[in-house]
Amino acid sequence: MKRFYISLMLVASINFFASSQSLSLKKSDDTNINNGDTITLTDANATAIFALNLKVTNTSSSTIDIKVKKTEISLIAGSSNTFCDWNSCFPPSTYVSPNALSLGSNVTNSAFMGEYKSHGNVGTSTIMYTFFNDANTNDSIAVVVNFIAGFVGIESNEQNITISNAYPNPTKNIFYLDYDFSNSHSARVEIINVIGSIVKVQEIQGLNGKAIIDVSNLNNGVYFYSVIVDNKKYISKKLIIQK
């Protein structure tokens, strides 16, 4: 029995270290960023050009190859965004860095920059940047960035849209959203993992009520949920699943 118990402990230890996170993120001012955190950048100038600099560190004991992926959660029409990794800067059509960076143990790279241009278009665009181990995409860390350009008010057609935050959050198997969509025609919830893939889509029925979102088939981890009403994203926030 003692030998069996030791074996179980060994397996548990192996699984823990195999799934441990090897990367950490910081802002340019060395403020720590937790996996799934949201950063908000604002500028009253509707023609603003935003530059986001991030520092990524390999916290593991061995050298790993890392890449970065951008996921456009929601964009203001007419805006554009690009990013520069450790090698090059890329056009808006590039979403994953073509070449991996070989990063040594406890080494930090400060070359990443995400750029957003509003081109005079007022509003909020939300983009997620995910840094990941090229040999194991589950070994990753992500940050969500809200770029807010101009003085953003509430449009008249948005005044009758009410959506609560997800609860409970963290959750095990289900979470709820209270909503009131007034005269909207369609609505759905999309759940995105930290690699930027949509892992679940659920339609919301009716103009008001409580939506029950089943996530029992999803693994533990950090996700993001978006509520889309009449094909427009109204909220995008972090969701934690802990079973």
- Tens digit of each residue's pLDDT (9 = 90 or more) over 99-116: 999 999 999 999 999 999
In a domain? residue 12: no
Domain total for the chain?
Answer: 2
List Cβ neighbours of 100 (8 Å cut-off, separation of 6 or more). Answer: 65, 66, 67, 134
Residues 144 and 161 in one domain: no
Three-class HEC string of 90-134: CCCCCCECCCCEEECCCCEEEEEEEEEECCCCCEEEEEEEEEEEC
Residues 189 and 141 in one domain: no
Confidence of residue 210 (pLDDT cuts 50, 70, 90): very high
* 124 token code pair: 């909020």
Span 32-86, pLDDT tens digits = 999 989 899 998 888 889 999 999 999 999 999 999 999 998 888 899 999 999 8
Structural domain that includes position 33: 21-149
In a domain? residue 192: yes
Neighbours of 172 (CB within 10 A): 12
Neighbours of 72 (CB within 10 A): 14
Residues 29 and 143 in one domain: yes
List Cβ neighbours of 178 (8 Å cut-off, separation of 6 or more). Answer: 162, 163, 164, 209, 210, 211
Backbone angles phi, psi at 44, to 5 degrees: -70, -15
Residues 175 and 139 in one domain: no
pLDDT(95) > 90: yes
| Residue reference for tokens 């805006």 | 79
Residues 30 and 131 in one domain: yes
Span 157-175, pLDDT tens digits = 445 788 899 999 999 999 9
pLDDT(5) > 50: no
In a domain? residue 118: yes
Span 170-195, pLDDT tens digits = 999 999 999 988 777 789 999 998 88
Among 104, 119, 149, where does a domain finish? 149
Residues 161 and 211 in one domain: yes
Average pLDDT, the chain: 85
In a domain? residue 58: yes
Q: Is the Cβ–Cβ distance between 38 and 146 less than 8 Å?
A: yes
Residues 36 and 143 in one domain: yes
| Residue reference for tokens 């198997």 | 173
In a domain? residue 4: no
Residue 143: which of 55, 64, 219, 62 has the closest Cα?
55
Kindly give the pairing relationship between strand 221-229 and strand 23-27. unpaired
This prediction's pTM: 0.75
* 55 token code pair: 């520092």
In a domain? residue 83: yes
Q: What is the CATH number of the domain that holds 95?
A: 2.60.40.2310
Residues 171 and 91 in one domain: no
Q: What is the CATH number of the domain that holds 167?
A: 2.60.40.1930
